[in-house]
Structure 1
């Protein structure tokens, strides 16, 4: 029963490096979404439906239910997969990714969704400027912000634009199926997230009947800002479902 970690935008698998350092489990994989530090398959259009289908196909290859975790768009996509294919998911956890008809996309997302302004934004984007925005707007530590923007290449920029333009009405389209999720759920959320207000954590928790909604004293990138707390919450979540493995170490809430 491996753990599969899915990043969001504009990230790669490296998002999870801090959390993985605190996990006691060794059966953990962090995947790159197509176009985000990994090639896009031929003909792949980077729509939200294609990303969900891609994730389903990858999980089918594993051959057993997994402990699925996502942040930001990773939260949205993994919740979608857990709703459509509950047979593939043993437990689910996600954070800072609203799936609600009541959610209004944040200002930057609206720029990316505009066919003129989005291209203009990406053409003018510089690593230095983007890193500074992550630090000042989202309180990402400077070294981690610099690491993040290093991988924002032409392919990722194009993938971001295509993904967001496919998702203008994502909340209303995907919210109704959330109730089909049967996997035990954990919602974790940076409580000071300006792009995805913390009220949507409670809403998502109710929609998927999550066992716990954890609100962390941080901004949007909870995985970068509170890796020890996220890891501890995840292992507590998984441990409740692993009676067949009594030797699994108990996670500490303080590390």
Structure 2
């Protein structure tokens, strides 16, 4: 198993990387092509959107695909923080004034992230990550997707944005079931 940090989200962006959806998809495809066989691909948040694109354009690289907590529908109601990041003036202001302790508290209160994990997460928020977040939210913006891609199964977890942190055992069990279903 491999878990990759996206450029700007823990991994250093390549030279001239603009953090666009297309560049992230190309980056993922390049990484997947190097593996040499179809993989079980999992994406969260923007990673879910990006892996959906990879699975739809390069199904030869994907054995199974799972995603979580990523808005696909035009009817999706963005959380208040996303709305702030989408606004070029307010998003820039927010990121320029971002204070880690306050941000950790905001994640814990607004997204039900356990406090100690929120504190760990914000330690990784650096300049490239702030810029990558703003580019994605300002340039772009699951059940309907499951229907559209003719998914054999759809699982809804009763959680906020961070089920991987809130209920890791249930998420792991769901992924194992998905990966082990007959082809």
TM-score w.r.t. structure 2 length?
Answer: 0.94
- The Cα shift of 1:51 comes to 0.7
* CA distance, structure 2, for counterparts of residue 127 and residue 165 of structure 1: 22
Matched, 1:95 2:36: no
- The Cα shift of 1:97 comes to 0.5
* CA distance, structure 1, for counterparts of residue 158 and residue 130 of structure 2: 30
- The Cα shift of 1:141 comes to 0.6
1:69–1:75 CA contact under 8 A, matched in 2: yes
Would you tell me which structure has more strand in proportion to its own residues?
1
- The Cα shift of 1:104 comes to 4.3
Q: Find the partner of 1:82 among 36, 50, 55.
A: 55
Matched, 1:70 2:11: no
Partner of 2:9: 36
- The Cα shift of 1:105 comes to 3.4
Unmatched runs of 5 consecutive residues or more in structure 2? none
* CA distance, structure 2, for counterparts of residue 227 and residue 91 of structure 1: 19
Which stretches of structure 1, 4 residues or more, deviate above 3 A after TM superposition? none
1:213-245 CA-to-partner distances (Å, cap 9, x unmatched) read 222232110111010001001111111247xxx
* CA distance, structure 2, for counterparts of residue 219 and residue 108 of structure 1: 14
Partner of 2:163: 222
Partner of 1:240: 181
Would you tell me which structure has more helix in proportion to its own residues?
2
More off after superposition, 72-81 vs 99-108:
99-108
1:5-52 CA-to-partner distances (Å, cap 9, x unmatched) read xxxxxxxxxxxxxxxxxxxxxxx1000000111111000000111111
- SS state at 2:155 partner: strand
* CA distance, structure 2, for counterparts of residue 161 and residue 218 of structure 1: 25
TM-score w.r.t. structure 1 length?
Answer: 0.69
Q: Find the partner of 1:125 among 76, 82, 98.
A: 98
How big is the alpha-carbon RMSD for the aligned residues of Structure 1 and Structure 2? 1.4
1:34–1:40 CA contact under 8 A, matched in 2: yes
- SS state at 2:3 partner: strand
- The Cα shift of 1:94 comes to 0.6
- SS state at 2:156 partner: strand
Unmatched runs of 5 consecutive residues or more in structure 1? 1-27, 171-200, 243-255
Q: Find the partner of 1:112 among 82, 85, 89.
A: 85
Matched, 1:210 2:151: yes
1:174-215 CA-to-partner distances (Å, cap 9, x unmatched) read xxxxxxxxxxxxxxxxxxxxxxxxxxx222221222222222
More off after superposition, 202-211 vs 97-106:
97-106
